[in-house]
Amino acid sequence: MRVLHRYLLREMGQTFLACFIVLLLISATGVLVDLLGRIARGKVPASLLLSQFGLRTVDALPMLIPLALFIGLLLSISRLYRDNEMAVLRAAGMGLSGLLRPALWLIGTLSVLVAAVSLWLAPEASAVSKQMIDSANRSLLVAGLEPGRFVELPGRHSVVYIGAMNNDGSRFGHLFVHSDRDERVDVVTAEKGELYTEAAGEERYLRLENGFRVEGIPGQNDFKVMRFARNDIRVPDIEPSEGSRSERKLPTRALLADQGAGSLAELHWRLAAPIACLLLGLLAVPLARSPPRAARYGGLMVALLVYLIYLNTLIIGRAQLAEGALPESAGLWWVHAPVLVLALVLLRRGERMPRVRKSASSKPASSA
């Protein structure tokens, strides 16, 4: 690689890295806020915060990297035009094709990386995330109930104390539960019990055995005392299953073997990430062209509009494909094809040298 190409590649790579870090921080903030909200509602155990944060961030990478590459190429190449460096490069005989060569190194490397993340790493992270939450919902330890400690149940206005627990966190002994409901106090004690999930898998209960329940309003004498052999207390719901989106957690080889519409839509969606990375990278090179005195971010707004149209069309196509409204042979190729044609047309036009217009003063003077 020539020295000039290394310089251009370094400029593009540094700008891409800066854009990726900014987008990653924005995305990570959104993921963290969503996780904290789910933990506050008792949907996700607090002990899984860091692991779920990392896994969900990995799941967002296939969409972050193409956008960071697109914006990074737009900013780095438009700076070359704005600072008249492209004028110097053109004077040295380097056209748009010469600028495309170092860009292809970055585009190709990131497309391969996005393909690996989208086809293998992101589905694996999504599956591991679900397995950890399912395991936590079956274990008192991971759910935050520890022996010898008072624990508040989120969203239930209840405090639980467990005196003893087995190693896997499935059964417990000597339980105490204090609840406040409409100024009434509800106190439950039990000799032993366990945590179980109903058949549908969406609700969890504490099964209490051999205990007492006292209920009433403090300051009044109408307390009710009940002794029971078994009493079930509902704890916060687990995360609902995603139903039609369950294909997200399947490995790619399983999607290839499945002939369902949902699996086909998920497969094309995973393939769309590296394809979009390649097409957006090619499209950014001609879209970044700007005159030296043009508005600094005028072309960037147009380019982002093209990106939003492309992304939303992919999302709509995925939904239509999953519902069977589109033929399987069409897939999402009909979305990628116009972007590829647009990129090739703009690259071809950008390679042409502008024609010099002859002014009227340059015409030879007529003889008298």
pLDDT in tens, 184-204: 888 888 998 887 776 555 567
Please, which residues bridge with residue 235 across strands? 204
Q: Do both 44 and 188 map to the same domain? A: no
pLDDT of 156? 60
As a whole number of Å, the end-to-end CA separation of the chain is 60
pLDDT in tens, 279-310: 999 999 888 887 666 665 666 788 888 889 99
CA distances from 83 to 2, 3, 294, 314 (A): 22, 19, 11, 36
Number of domains in the chain: 2
**178 domain-assigned:** yes
CB 137 within 8 A of CB 197: yes
Q: Do both 314 and 340 map to the same domain? A: yes
Cα–Cα distance measured from residue 205 to residue 227, given in angstroms and rounded to the nearest whole number: 19
**203 domain-assigned:** yes
Cα–Cα distance measured from residue 250 to residue 331, given in angstroms and rounded to the nearest whole number: 19
Q: Do both 126 and 9 map to the same domain? A: yes
pLDDT in tens, 92-123: 777 677 788 889 999 999 999 999 999 999 99
CA distances from 171 to 20, 153, 194, 198, 200 (A): 46, 18, 4, 16, 21
Confidence of residue 241 (pLDDT cuts 50, 70, 90): very low
Residue % of the chain over a pLDDT of 90:
30
Residue 146, both tokens: 């520890």
Q: Do both 261 and 297 map to the same domain? A: yes
- Given 219, 235, 251, which residue is the final one in a domain? 235
pLDDT (average), residues 240-255: 68
Q: Do both 210 and 250 map to the same domain? A: no
Identity of the residue numbered 46: A
- Given 235, 265, 287, which residue is the final one in a domain? 235
pLDDT of 141? 54
pLDDT of 115? 94
**60 domain-assigned:** yes
Confidence of residue 165 (pLDDT cuts 50, 70, 90): confident
pLDDT (average), residues 46-60: 88
Residue 221, both tokens: 């004498």
| Residue 137 buriedness (CB in 10 A; 0-12 / 13-18 / 19+) | buried
CB 231 within 8 A of CB 200: no
Task: Read off the pTM.
Answer: 0.74
Q: Do both 189 and 297 map to the same domain? A: no
| Residue 288 buriedness (CB in 10 A; 0-12 / 13-18 / 19+) | buried
CA distances from 327 to 261, 265, 312, 322, 337 (A): 10, 11, 19, 10, 16
Q: Do both 118 and 163 map to the same domain? A: no
Q: Do both 109 and 253 map to the same domain? A: yes
**144 domain-assigned:** no
Q: Do both 50 and 110 map to the same domain? A: yes
CA distances from 37 to 41, 54, 122, 161 (A): 6, 16, 23, 24
pLDDT of 237? 54
pLDDT (average), residues 208-229: 87
**366 domain-assigned:** no
Q: Do both 7 and 37 map to the same domain? A: yes
Q: Do both 11 and 77 map to the same domain? A: yes
Range of the domain at 208: 156-235
**356 domain-assigned:** no
**357 domain-assigned:** no
pLDDT in tens, 318-363: 999 888 888 888 889 999 999 999 999 988 887 664 444 555 555 5
Residue 218's φ and ψ, nearest 5 degrees, are -60, 140
Cα–Cα distance measured from residue 67 to residue 354, given in angstroms and rounded to the nearest whole number: 31
